[in-house]
Structure 1
Amino acid sequence: MTGREDLMLGFRLAVGGGRGSIVRLLLSTVGIGLAVAVLLIGASAGTVKENRDQRTYAASPRYGQIPGIAPLNYHATTTDFRGQAISLVHLQATGPNSPIPPGVDRLPAPGEVFLSPKLDELVAADTSGLLRPRLPGKPVGIIDAEAVLNPNDLVVYAGTGNPRNGVAIYAFGAPPGYETPFERGLLSLLLLGLFVLLTPVFIFVGTVSRLGGAARDRRLAALRLAGSSLAQLRRITAAESLVGAAAGLVVGTALFLLFRGTAANLQVFRFGLYPDDLTPSWPLVVLIVLAVPALTVAAAWASQRHLVVEPLGVVRETAQPKRRLWWRLLPVVIGILLIAPDFGVASELGRWALIGGAALLMVGIPALLPWLLERVVSRIKGGPPSFQLAIRRMQSDSGTPSRVVAGLCVVLAGAIALQSLLAGQAAMEADRHDDTGGRITVYADGSVADRAIAAVRTVPGAADFQVLRSLFVEGKRQDGMLVLIAVADCATIEATTTATGCRDGDVFADPSFLHIGQSAKITDNDKREQPWTVPVTPRPFEVKPSSVTETLAPQVLATPAAVAGVDLASALVTATLRGTTGNPDFVELVRNSVAPYSGQVTVAAYKGERASTEALMFDDARDILLGGALFVLLLAGVSLLVLAQEQVRERRRALGALSATGVPVRVIVRSLLWQNGIPLLLGIVLATATGIAVAALGKRLFWDGLYVDWSAVALLAAAAVVMVLLVTASTVPSVRSAAKTENLRTE
């Protein structure tokens, strides 16, 4: 036969070899299809970032003066509604050619607002009536969806007649700003997470390609008897594998397109995607189309490397070569060498060295696990019959179960490392911004502070107010910088510090910093300087934790009488309060009370709400990576299930013989549980150690201490164990069928 005829025969055997061939083809198609869908999503990561960068660029204001352009007064603030962040962008034109933000065809007039699509839906769906008063004007239009950074973003463009606090901008479309250490760290974690999620996919493709090995061996023996050469057998094997790979590519593309069409409607993550974002780059698409079939063929050929196919039968070499350790340690050693030197995560070299080193450490799991399993099972002796059956099976073939478990353990290690890093950072950010013990905090410009605080006091249940006015004062500092002075009444000072016996007219500071009769200058938010003479000897003080004073961290505290004659009208005001009614929407009532001062007053309630943008981004990244990890864990579970069913199918004769000699079915089932469980337990130990090591090294991304999320470790390990139990339970009907004595007549 010619090469073309060999390939055609392989195609016919794959699709027309009876019921068994069809079942194997379906399993391979589904398995490879899921893997291809994941690879296409991963290949879209570059487009996702590029499109987001373009939208960010288009909406970023340019502050450099442009001749002939009337500047736009621009002021961006945020508010919250039941834990959802709403971005308020206040705009005021200064001329007919003032720039217009992307997504609208004109600037809103004073009293008008443009809403993003999701915010418009939220306003229409709000039955409480608490959200609409928050809007600084009447809705007159919708911002174009393509101009909003994320499909689920809540954005308001508001026209204003008050230019205070705004900055002059001359265009939209600024180049990206400086990448902060936080952004570098988060991007590095996401890149590492992408590697973690994609690595097991290739292992899974290789495993699926080995399905039906025993039946394929018998077919090859028949072909050998018919006169086929060994080279022809390899071509026929490749053609059989390519059928499943090609069908998997089609199914995977269809699954990807289905997911892509619903991407904008996903509400799981705050940072959503537009369908156009999920567009894999063509070089990567070509690579996937070529790599998946190549991997399936290579895996099928690799499964036959110890196989001797002769006309009268198939013989597999029983004495497998001893696995060598040296090359399996190479990824671990190289990974440590990349991570050990502190290149600094601020540099591009440091970031990629850390990512590459962590990736190589996790590559060490699939490399080390087969060797480790071989060494462990070779030394185990004795035990109950089911245990001995499992050990003997793994002694004869420890590679197959370890390959599947290795992919699952790469996911475990990566998930443990990333969840520990992200959970720790989210907790630190939340603690860092939850400095007022759950109290509601109001920040107000001095020009409207008195009216805003008075409006808040009218909210039912508002109590326990602590109000500080912030200015700057000259002091004895080596760097010559001004220091913060906070003006508050004695009730606030005694409630937030350890000071006692406060009287109006007192000053609290380090006596070596200020002294009685000292002349200084106080500077307010408008850069006005006013003379001040320290009226009394300052008293030392210490702030109480979770108080408004600790949040501001002033070096000087003064009572109102101590700064008599100083104009406080432009001082920034920070006030905290508590609600006493138990109304879950109390904070929304507070926000609505100061809604007329939008852009000049901000209300923050960290207890039970978002703590900060950084904390939210860490939580979002955790959700994204956890969702991906669970999906890939499910993929590994499907791989384990397919492998378990295929092993039962291939061992029907052996299982029937065991049953005929008196071995109960329950013993056989328990032996399968041991076969799946022992590699998994070894893998969990190895994955946990690797994950914690990567987390310990990765903490340099944020310069914070190590935080191991043991609950996530336990949850992921438990999920893997439950998966093995379910896979084993699913094989019980097949084992019972295979263990029937009459099967010996046909098998």
Structure 2
Amino acid sequence: MGARFAVTGGRRGWLRTALTALGVGLGVAVLLLAAALPNAVTAAKHRSDARTIVSEGEDSRPTDRTLLVASVDSGYRDRTVSGRVVRAEGPHAPVPPGLSRVPGPGELAVSPALADLLASPDGALLKERFPHLRITARIGDEGLTYPGELLYYQGSDALRHSAGDVERVTEFGAPDSPFELEPLVVLAILVGCVALLVPVAVFVATAVRLGGERRDLRLAALRLVGADRATTRRIAAGEALAGSLLGLLTGTAIFLAARIPLCSLTLFDLGAFPSDLVPDPALTAVIALALPVCAVGIALFTMRRVTVEPLGVTRKAPPLRRRLWWRPLLPATGVALLLPQVIGGLRSGDAAGAQVIVGVSLLLLGVAAFLPWLLDAVVTWLGRGSLGRRGGQSWHLAVRRLQLTSGTASRSISGITVAVAGAIAVQVLLSGAAGGLSGTPQGSPRWAVANAWEATAPAARAHRMEARLGAAEGVRAAHGLISGYADSARHQRAVAHGYGQDDDPDPYPVTVADCAALRVLARLTDCSDGDVFLVKDSTDGLRAPRPGERLVLDPLGSEEAGHRPATWTVPATARHTVPRRELPPGLGANGLLATPKALDATHLHDSSVDVMLRLAPDRPDAVEHLRNIAAQADIRAQLFAFDDSDTAEGLATPRRALAAGAVAVLLLIGAGLLITTLEQLQERARLLSALDALGTPRTVLGLSVLWQTTIPVALGLTLAVGCGLGLGTLLLHMVDRPLLPDWPTILTLTGTAAVVIMGVTALSLPLLWRLMRPEGLRTE
């Protein structure tokens, strides 16, 4: 009978059931998406592992089954471009996944997304990076991690295995390994998932309770014709069960319809094909079984204090004062679970991850539990205080309505409160992490570094690279330098005599460049060709030699040639107090700095040629011009761009993704809030008609609806900001990062919530105007 009531009863009954199914369906769609993410990530990881190269080692020999491969990853504007240069050494060389054959010299195999980009006007600048190359194949789906990946394989007969960055392989595909991320990123993902899913659970619980007042009146009529209290509870459970089952079907349809558009989104350079977004069977079964059970449980729970009698329902009486004592227990338990990792530091593992998930969930649920009590207390104060006496008619109507139905208002707003609190906590965590990682002063100029191995670009070509790249469009200054390493001669003698192998210190980093380039790396008072400088405060634990110390420059190369290793003694005049300049990571000076006259850079081992380029900030495509020139000079030359926003680039993507997810959840909850408001207006149709018949202006009632939404949301947002900042501070203590709130993002989230309030009010006004008619007082 309850199920029949859910799907019959005329237009109003169908409308109530449809609103419940839509609210539950939106939540189910989000839960199904969350259940599909593990399969999507696993499938993308398998495809990524399948194309991983398996190197044969430095001592391997060419055969008819070997392939030379060099990775040449770069970027194009705000996207990553992954590339590999290949040369088959025999007819049976391994073929990369997604291709039918190895590209030959001058041939290019590209992914569909890269082919479309190269054919579009937006890719005209990128097309210059592949001169005199023809596209002969497209990479299949099995060779891509996600549909929008920009990937290419370039054939070349110029590859040689002697180069340090060229590997010889006989097969593709590494054994499956777990998807590993930094503990900080894992913590952000865990907290972000909790922050996005807990509001959905609150939202679903609210949607199940739609139409409660109308249902109670109908149950009172059933009591009048002979039904007992147990029967009315079973009928209410059947009605909730029918609405939840329809919500399951609606959510499944929404998930299937949104699956293809969602495949265009990427996170951590991973994405999904539509076939990857398949919910996990176990999680799907849990959702399918738990949702109806929760719906029935919520329906029975809401009737625990409702006495349905033949002549009415006691819900119309003022509600009892809410108890406070148990509400702080939820956040207190959450803090207790997080406290061990706050004191002892962030730990890894499934148990630690579960502890974080449960602790954060309890903290956020504590916000939802505390809001109803806070709303009751504030509404009572507003009705009795001076503000209540001075308020206008719309204010009195809104406050009185909140006093009578504060539970419905708090349930509707609790989802927004939890979503904003969780999103603020994640943003505080990521902002503090980004601030802790960044060592670049604000306003620093944009820099780029072009790098090439000595085997592909000998030291003698450093000046040619500097001149060619320095003439590129958008480059303000270019500084060439040669970086390498030198060993301690004392340690080399100890190893030669058979002792000291266990105490193997790292080699000294050495940089050779002219004075103009050295002044960029370090703070030099004066410099002339022939000077040597020792940098203090070296990063990453890199050491600097002492004045007068003897260094071995090329221990391996000279011994293989049959000669004694080349040595060099650090001059006694070397300055040991040269401070480093604050530059983006990867550009700072370490170890020993020398001018060309003081040290011949051709003897350094593991050396590379770098060109530091200062870019004009008003030329955003300057980096792309440099990449094109570097690719034309050497297909394996790499170029890296830095500025003060790039130092935390690894955290920028999750920050944007989580902010977008929080905004999406806010809009989802806004839809539920609109449904609740419309349902309440339908329940109050006769009251609104009576007020209209008495001459109440429509403006007063419209403002009262606005106040009814604004007061709870303002309290919820205040509570959310405080809880979010507190939880974010707690999480930052786990990773030992400073507190640097991202106020623009926080204002964006709170502003979105305010826009949701105004949107709900505006969309509810047409129904309000339609219900405010004296004809609504007619009855039979």
Does the TM-score normalized on the shorter chain lie above 0.5? yes
Amino acid at match of 2:484: L
Assess, with a 3 A threshold, how the Cα gap between structure 1 residues 88 and 317 changes in structure 2: closer, same or farther: same
Answer with 416-425 or 470-479: which moved more.
Answer: 470-479
Paired residue secondary structure (1:174): coil
The residue correspondences of 1:266-415 to structure 2 (distance < 5 A) are 266=265, 271-316=270-315, 318=317, 320-342=319-341, 343-348=344-349, 349-380=351-382, 381-382=384-385, 383=388, 384=391, 385-415=393-423
Deviations 1:647-693 (A, max 9, x none): 22212333344455565443333333332222212211221122112
1:130 counterpart = 2:122 = no
For 1:548 and 1:541, locate their aligned partners in 2 and report how far apart those are by CA, in whole Å.
21
Paired residue secondary structure (1:379): helix
For 2:75 and 2:674, locate their aligned partners in 1 and report how far apart those are by CA, in whole Å.
46
Name 1:467's counterpart in structure 2. Answer: 480
For 1:480 and 1:269, locate their aligned partners in 2 and report how far apart those are by CA, in whole Å.
35
Amino acid at match of 1:364: G
For 1:513 and 1:282, locate their aligned partners in 2 and report how far apart those are by CA, in whole Å.
58
- Counterpart among 580, 585, 591 of residue 627 in structure 2: 591
1:576 counterpart = 2:612 = yes
Answer with 539-548 or 410-419: which moved more.
Answer: 539-548
Name 1:611's counterpart in structure 2. Answer: 646
Assess, with a 3 A threshold, how the Cα gap between structure 1 residues 599 and 658 changes in structure 2: closer, same or farther: same
Offset at 1:340?
A: 1.0
1:38 counterpart = 2:30 = yes
Answer with 192-201 or 274-283: which moved more.
Answer: 192-201
- Counterpart among 622, 635, 652 of residue 668 in structure 2: 635
- Counterpart among 61, 85, 102 of residue 90 in structure 1: 85
Deviations 1:294-347 (A, max 9, x none): 333333333333332233333337354443333322221121111111354342
Offset at 1:560?
A: 0.9
Name 2:137's counterpart in structure 1. Answer: 141
Assess, with a 3 A threshold, how the Cα gap between structure 1 residues 355 and 221 changes in structure 2: closer, same or farther: closer
Paired residue secondary structure (1:205): helix
Conserved 8 A contact 1:435-1:546: no
Amino acid at match of 1:309: V
For 1:734 and 1:472, locate their aligned partners in 2 and report how far apart those are by CA, in whole Å.
76
For 1:309 and 1:110, locate their aligned partners in 2 and report how far apart those are by CA, in whole Å.
83
For 2:546 and 2:234, locate their aligned partners in 1 and report how far apart those are by CA, in whole Å.
93
Answer with 509-518 or 685-694: which moved more.
Answer: 509-518
For 1:178 and 1:32, locate their aligned partners in 2 and report how far apart those are by CA, in whole Å.
34
Conserved 8 A contact 1:534-1:562: no
For 2:556 and 2:731, locate their aligned partners in 1 and report how far apart those are by CA, in whole Å.
41
1:522 counterpart = 2:553 = yes
- Counterpart among 155, 160, 178 of residue 159 in structure 1: 155
For 1:202 and 1:573, locate their aligned partners in 2 and report how far apart those are by CA, in whole Å.
56
The residue correspondences of 1:40-189 to structure 2 (distance < 5 A) are 40-63=32-55, 71-126=66-121, 129-135=124-130, 137-160=133-156, 161-163=159-161, 164=163, 165-175=165-175, 182-189=181-188
Answer with 685-694 or 87-96: which moved more.
Answer: 87-96
Offset at 1:431?
A: 6.0
Amino acid at match of 1:487: V
Name 1:241's counterpart in structure 2. Answer: 240
Structure 1, gaps ≥5 residues long = 1-6
Amino acid at match of 1:175: P
Structure 2, gaps ≥5 residues long = 492-502, 537-542, 560-564
Paired residue secondary structure (1:80): strand
For 2:34 and 2:474, locate their aligned partners in 1 and report how far apart those are by CA, in whole Å.
51
1:729 counterpart = 2:762 = yes
For 2:194 and 2:510, locate their aligned partners in 1 and report how far apart those are by CA, in whole Å.
50
For 2:711 and 2:476, locate their aligned partners in 1 and report how far apart those are by CA, in whole Å.
61
For 1:267 and 1:340, locate their aligned partners in 2 and report how far apart those are by CA, in whole Å.
33
Paired residue secondary structure (2:294): helix
Deviations 1:14-62 (A, max 9, x none): 3331221122122222222222211111111221222122223222233
Paired residue secondary structure (2:603): coil
Assess, with a 3 A threshold, how the Cα gap between structure 1 residues 126 and 546 changes in structure 2: closer, same or farther: farther
For 1:581 and 1:395, locate their aligned partners in 2 and report how far apart those are by CA, in whole Å.
57
Conserved 8 A contact 2:44-2:272: no
Amino acid at match of 2:130: L
Deviations 1:269-317 (A, max 9, x none): 9643211221101222222222222333333333333332233333337
Answer with 710-719 or 549-558: which moved more.
Answer: 549-558
Assess, with a 3 A threshold, how the Cα gap between structure 1 residues 375 and 44 changes in structure 2: closer, same or farther: same
Answer with 426-435 or 312-321: which moved more.
Answer: 426-435
Conserved 8 A contact 2:74-2:639: yes
Name 1:14's counterpart in structure 2. Answer: 6
For 2:222 and 2:719, locate their aligned partners in 1 and report how far apart those are by CA, in whole Å.
44
Compute the TM-score of the two structures, normalised by the length of structure 1.
0.89
Name 1:4's counterpart in structure 2. Answer: none
For 2:685 and 2:763, locate their aligned partners in 1 and report how far apart those are by CA, in whole Å.
16
Deviations 1:147-169 (A, max 9, x none): 21122111122334332122344
Assess, with a 3 A threshold, how the Cα gap between structure 1 residues 667 and 195 changes in structure 2: closer, same or farther: same
Name 2:500's counterpart in structure 1. Answer: none
Paired residue secondary structure (2:313): strand
Conserved 8 A contact 2:439-2:583: no
Conserved 8 A contact 1:496-1:548: no
Paired residue secondary structure (1:101): coil
Offset at 1:734?
A: 3.5
Offset at 1:407?
A: 1.0
Assess, with a 3 A threshold, how the Cα gap between structure 1 residues 329 and 170 changes in structure 2: closer, same or farther: farther
Assess, with a 3 A threshold, how the Cα gap between structure 1 residues 549 and 521 changes in structure 2: closer, same or farther: farther
The residue correspondences of 1:396-545 to structure 2 (distance < 5 A) are 396-426=404-434, 437-447=445-455, 448-449=457-458, 450=461, 451-459=464-472, 462-474=475-487, 480-509=505-534, 518-523=549-554, 529-535=565-571, 537-540=573-576, 542-543=578-579, 545=581
Assess, with a 3 A threshold, how the Cα gap between structure 1 residues 578 and 315 changes in structure 2: closer, same or farther: closer
Offset at 1:170?
A: 4.2
Amino acid at match of 1:191: L
Name 2:497's counterpart in structure 1. Answer: none
Deviations 1:185-235 (A, max 9, x none): 323322322222222222222222222233323322222222223333233
Percent of pairs with identical residues = 36
Assess, with a 3 A threshold, how the Cα gap between structure 1 residues 43 and 129 changes in structure 2: closer, same or farther: closer
For 2:52 and 2:442, locate their aligned partners in 1 and report how far apart those are by CA, in whole Å.
29
Conserved 8 A contact 1:446-1:573: yes
1:224 counterpart = 2:223 = yes
For 1:462 and 1:188, locate their aligned partners in 2 and report how far apart those are by CA, in whole Å.
40
For 1:549 and 1:656, locate their aligned partners in 2 and report how far apart those are by CA, in whole Å.
68
Amino acid at match of 2:422: G
Offset at 1:723?
A: 1.5
Conserved 8 A contact 1:505-1:562: yes
Offset at 1:567?
A: 3.4
Assess, with a 3 A threshold, how the Cα gap between structure 1 residues 420 and 176 changes in structure 2: closer, same or farther: farther
Amino acid at match of 1:52: A
How well do the aligned residues superpose, as a CA RMSD in angstroms? 3.5
For 1:301 and 1:526, locate their aligned partners in 2 and report how far apart those are by CA, in whole Å.
81
For 1:548 and 1:525, locate their aligned partners in 2 and report how far apart those are by CA, in whole Å.
32
For 1:199 and 1:515, locate their aligned partners in 2 and report how far apart those are by CA, in whole Å.
59
For 2:144 and 2:661, locate their aligned partners in 1 and report how far apart those are by CA, in whole Å.
25
Name 2:714's counterpart in structure 1. Answer: 681
Name 1:195's counterpart in structure 2. Answer: 194
Name 1:3's counterpart in structure 2. Answer: none
Assess, with a 3 A threshold, how the Cα gap between structure 1 residues 32 and 110 changes in structure 2: closer, same or farther: same
Answer with 654-663 or 682-691: which moved more.
Answer: 654-663
Conserved 8 A contact 2:522-2:589: no
For 1:663 and 1:702, locate their aligned partners in 2 and report how far apart those are by CA, in whole Å.
58
Conserved 8 A contact 2:475-2:614: yes
For 1:653 and 1:547, locate their aligned partners in 2 and report how far apart those are by CA, in whole Å.
70
Amino acid at match of 1:162: R
For 2:176 and 2:751, locate their aligned partners in 1 and report how far apart those are by CA, in whole Å.
43
1:559 counterpart = 2:572 = no
Paired residue secondary structure (2:263): helix
